[in-house]
């Protein structure tokens, strides 16, 4: 705009110079007075409008640029009105009117205009404002106008001549006009450098107004008559400049904020649309989160695979709002078919007609088949436009399917054993966030299916193992039973054979062998009757064995008393129980046979305990005749003593202590850690 204004003003000024020459055309005084008053009062109206615009828009726009310009033009409007009232032909304005009086008011107004533009050129609107700056601006504007009025009205004799009738402008008048032109030019350069090269329309209108003011002032350096063409052109240049200033201020103070408001409204509308889209997406994501949460709860509760798949499909359709959902498993048949397992929603025979495959064929390139074949998620936002979905397009359209997502069900090796396929009645139904949540759901479902299968395999394996264990238990019980029976048969044979023997010593040997076999047989009997097929309760065994031996070797009741003292519950493995039983048999039998000869009466005491370290303490003592002093039982040569020491050391890995001072007392210690459980 400044460039076009400069070109227009240059051409207009050049044309005026060519047409006007030294004696420009003039109007008659009355005619010119009408023109002059119309132009000046219009200029005053524009100035007041500029003031009103800058003053009253300050509260909304906070444009201090507009406030300064408005206050300045209040002063300029007042000075221009004084100029119009002082023009020759108008009624006397306090003092007689004259051209000189009008010119002085004119120059005061032009200097005020130049000063206003210079202030705006160097004005920084970003600096902090002052308290009451609107009032200060108003007072300053009225003060400038009042000062000019006072000087011109009250001291006319002191004013230098600016125009001489019949002669024209004085040198002072021309010099002052050129000074005003220089001030306008300076303001133009500063505004151009600081604001004029941007896209600010207010600055562009200000620069155009300054150009018009410069050419207008140049016209006022050339007129010879107050009514000639130069004077008229100068007023017209000024009038257009004021309109430009008003236009620029309007853009700055009103139009620009409203345009900004309109732009903000449009931006707000766009943001509202984005917000609506975001809210819709958030609603969909929340819906998917609800679906995932409910499906996870179903996974936690699931014990049956088919029921789990049915629950998952139902949750997806009912809570997710989808049209149809189904789960299919990949089969390794010749056609590589996909077998529908469970589904929910609008199916209407779709799966029976679909013939979906996971092979690389026409019926295997759809979303479900491709998903299983590649073990990757496949989704199509518009089924009706997908050429790979052509075999099912008509059936999908009939049932209202528009978009689909197929999610792989993966094994631990990342291969796919099936797919979860979800259909929506809306196109573009699966956004990225929704896709991620559904992939998470498919991963959880895969884990749940595999976990149920593993648990089922474990249950079957446990059942098989339990059957095998029961069979093994039955075999062991049968083995113990048969072993016990065989030993009983051997005892019976020995008993029968002993009946034919008349030698008392041989008969005693047979009885000892029979009791030893009975001791071993009793171990197998207790195992047969026990819930634990590997361990024998030693306390119960001692009671049974001691009673058996007492009845076998002591014919006279009450001759020998059996005392079972501190007897703790001690469990022994079968490998330790048999030698321990033989040991107890020898110790108790020796006490009963050799400890109480003749009519001697006494007592046999047995105690059993297990300490904190796991060591078993077994004590067998009697108050019988004992051994002669200084006798070493290991050198006596009796079979019983040899068996005792051999069983303790070799079979049980323990040690034995013997005290024969008062009867016989055997203190035996061993640990039940020599052998490992066999069952």
Q: Do 345 and 391 lie in a common domain?
A: yes
79 contacts 138 by C-beta, under 8 angstroms: no
More confident residue, 447 or 9: 447
Structural domain containing residue 626: 536-679
Predicted confidence band of residue 314 (pLDDT cuts 50, 70, 90): very high
Whether 282 is covered by a domain: the verdict is no
Whether 396 is covered by a domain: the verdict is yes
Q: Do 257 and 312 lie in a common domain?
A: no
Range from 23-32, 320-329, 389-398, 566-575 carrying the lowest mean pLDDT: 23-32
Q: What is the pLDDT of residues 434-455, one digit of tens each?
A: 888 888 989 999 999 999 988 8
Q: β-strand 560-567 against 602-610: which pairing, if any?
A: parallel
Whether 514 is covered by a domain: the verdict is no
What is the number of domains present in the chain? 3
Look up the CATH number of the domain holding residue 659: 3.30.565.10
Closest CA to 248 of 191, 331, 330, 184: 191
Whether 530 is covered by a domain: the verdict is no
Cβ contacts of 393 within 8 Å, gap of 6 or more: 383, 384, 386
Closest CA to 588 of 628, 643, 632, 535: 643
Is residue 196 scored above 50 in pLDDT? no
Q: Do 212 and 346 lie in a common domain?
A: no
Is residue 197 scored above 60 in pLDDT? no
Task: Among 430, 463, 493, identify where a domain stops.
Answer: 430
pTM: 0.46
Look up the CATH number of the domain holding residue 217: 1.20.1070
Is residue 369 scored above 70 in pLDDT? yes
Q: Do 96 and 183 lie in a common domain?
A: yes
Task: Among 430, 453, 472, identify where a domain stops.
Answer: 430
Range from 35-39, 228-232, 293-297, 549-553 carrying the lowest mean pLDDT: 228-232
Q: Do 549 and 598 lie in a common domain?
A: yes
Whether 453 is covered by a domain: the verdict is no
Q: Do 323 and 235 lie in a common domain?
A: no
The arithmetic mean of pLDDT across residues 241-251, rounded, is 69
Task: Among 404, 430, 456, identify where a domain stops.
Answer: 430
Q: Do 165 and 307 lie in a common domain?
A: no
Q: Where are the alpha helices (DSSP H) in 194-255?
A: 201-219, 229-250
Range from 112-116, 185-189, 226-230, 607-611 carrying the lowest mean pLDDT: 226-230
Predicted confidence band of residue 198 (pLDDT cuts 50, 70, 90): very low
Is residue 640 scored above 70 in pLDDT? no
Q: Do 227 and 370 lie in a common domain?
A: no
331 contacts 337 by C-beta, under 8 angstroms: yes
Predicted confidence band of residue 578 (pLDDT cuts 50, 70, 90): confident
Q: Do 255 and 322 lie in a common domain?
A: no
397 contacts 245 by C-beta, under 8 angstroms: no
User: Environment class of residue 537 by beta-carbon count within 10 Å: exposed (0-12), middle (13-18) or buried (19+)?
Assistant: middle
Whether 366 is covered by a domain: the verdict is yes
Rounded-to-integer distance, Cα 42 and Cα 511, Å:
154
The helix or strand, by DSSP H or E, that contains position 619, with its residue range, turns out to be strand 615-622
Is residue 459 scored above 50 in pLDDT? yes
Q: Do 229 and 333 lie in a common domain?
A: no
State both tokens at 257. 């904020």
Q: Do 226 and 334 lie in a common domain?
A: no
Look up the CATH number of the domain holding residue 367: 3.30.450.40
Rounded-to-integer distance, Cα 441 and Cα 444, Å:
5
* pLDDT averaged over every residue in the chain: 80
Four-CA torsion 288, 290, 291, 295, nearest 10 degrees = 140
Q: What is the pLDDT of residue 20?
A: 61
Q: What is the pLDDT of residue 537?
A: 81
Q: What is the pLDDT of residues 472-525, one digit of tens each?
A: 666 556 665 666 677 677 777 776 777 767 676 776 677 777 777 777 677 666
- β-bridge mates for residue 610, sequence order: 616
Q: Do 213 and 84 lie in a common domain?
A: yes
Whether 601 is covered by a domain: the verdict is yes
Predicted confidence band of residue 121 (pLDDT cuts 50, 70, 90): confident
Whether 464 is covered by a domain: the verdict is no
């Amino acid at each position: 705009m400044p460039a076009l204004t400069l070109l227009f003003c240059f051409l207009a000024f050049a044309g005026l110079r060519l047409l006007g020459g030294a004696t420009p055309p003039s109007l008659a005084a009355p005619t010119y007075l009408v023109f002059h008053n119309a132009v000046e009062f219009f200029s005053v109206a524009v100035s007041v409008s500029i003031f009103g615009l800058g003053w009253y828009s300050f509260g909304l726009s906070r444009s201090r640029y507009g406030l300064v310009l408005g206050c300045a033009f209040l002063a300029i409007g007042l000075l221009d009105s004084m100029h119009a009232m002082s023009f020759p032909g108008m009624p006397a304005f306090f003092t007689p009117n004259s051209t000189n009086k009008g010119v002085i008011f004119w120059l005061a107004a032009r200097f005020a205009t130049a000063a206003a533009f210079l202030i705006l050129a160097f004005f920084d609107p970003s600096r902090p404002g002052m308290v009451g700056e609107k009032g200060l601006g108003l007072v300053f504007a009225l003060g400038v106008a009042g000062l000019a009025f006072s000087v011109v009205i009250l001291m006319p004799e002191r004013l230098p001549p600016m125009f001489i009738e019949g002669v024209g402008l004085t040198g002072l008048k021309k010099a002052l006009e050129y000074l005003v032109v220089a001030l306008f030019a300076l303001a133009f350069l500063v505004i151009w450098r600081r604001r004029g090269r941007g896209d600010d329309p207010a600055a562009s209108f200000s620069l155009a107004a300054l150009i018009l003011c410069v050419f207008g002032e140049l016209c006022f350096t050339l007129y010879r008559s107050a009514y000639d063409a130069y004077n008229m052109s100068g007023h017209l240049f000024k009038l257009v400049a004021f309109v430009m200033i008003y236009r620029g201020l309007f853009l700055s103070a009103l139009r620009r904020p409203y345009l900004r408001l309109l732009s903000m409204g449009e931006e707000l509308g766009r943001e509202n649309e984005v917000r609506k889209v975001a809210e819709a997406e958030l609603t969909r994501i929340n819906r998917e989160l609800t679906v995932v949460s409910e499906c996870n709860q179903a996974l936690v509760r699931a014990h049956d695979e088919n029921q789990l798949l049915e629950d998952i499909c139902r949750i997806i359709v009912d809570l997710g709002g989808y049209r149809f959902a189904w789960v299919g498993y990949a089969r390794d048949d010749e056609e590589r078919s996909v077998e529908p397992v469970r589904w929910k929603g609008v199916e209407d025979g779709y799966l029976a007609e679909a013939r979906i495959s996971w092979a690389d064929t026409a019926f295997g390139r759809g979303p479900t088949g491709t998903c299983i074949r590649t073990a990757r998620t496949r989704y199509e936002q518009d089924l009706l436009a997908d050429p790979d979905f052509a075999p099912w397009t008509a059936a999908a359209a009939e049932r209202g399917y528009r978009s689909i997502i197929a999610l792989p069900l993966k094994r631990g090796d990342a291969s796919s054993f099936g797919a979860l396929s979800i259909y929506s009645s809306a196109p573009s139904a699966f956004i990225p966030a929704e896709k991620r949540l559904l992939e998470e759901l498919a991963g959880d479902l895969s884990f749940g299916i595999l976990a149920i299968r593993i648990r089922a395999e474990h249950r079957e394996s446990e059942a098989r193992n339990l059957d095998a264990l029961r069979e093994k238990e039955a075999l062991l019980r049968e083995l113990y039973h048969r072993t016990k029976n065989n030993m009983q048969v051997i005892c019976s044979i020995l008993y029968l054979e002993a009946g034919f023997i008349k030698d008392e010593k041989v008969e005693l040997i047979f009885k000892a062998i029979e009791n030893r076999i009975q001791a071993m047989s009793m171990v197998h009997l207790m195992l047969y009757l026990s819930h634990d097929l590997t361990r024998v309760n030693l306390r119960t065994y001692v009671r049974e064995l001691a009673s058996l031996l007492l009845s076998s070797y002591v014919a006279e009741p009450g001759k020998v008393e059996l005392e079972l003292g501190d007897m703790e519950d001690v469990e022994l493995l079968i490998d330790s129980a048999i030698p321990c039983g033989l040991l107890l048999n020898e110790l108790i039998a020796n006490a009963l046979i050799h400890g109480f000869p003749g009519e001697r009466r006494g007592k046999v005491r047995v105690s059993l305990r297990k300490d904190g370290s796991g060591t078993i303490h077994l004590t067998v003592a009697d108050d019988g005749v004992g051994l002669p002093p200084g006798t070493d039982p290991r050198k006596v040569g009796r079979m019983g003593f040899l068996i005792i020491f051999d069983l303790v050391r070799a079979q049980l890995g323990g040690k034995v202590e013997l005290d024969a001072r008062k009867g016989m007392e055997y203190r035996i210690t061993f640990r039940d850690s020599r052998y490992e459980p066999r069952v």
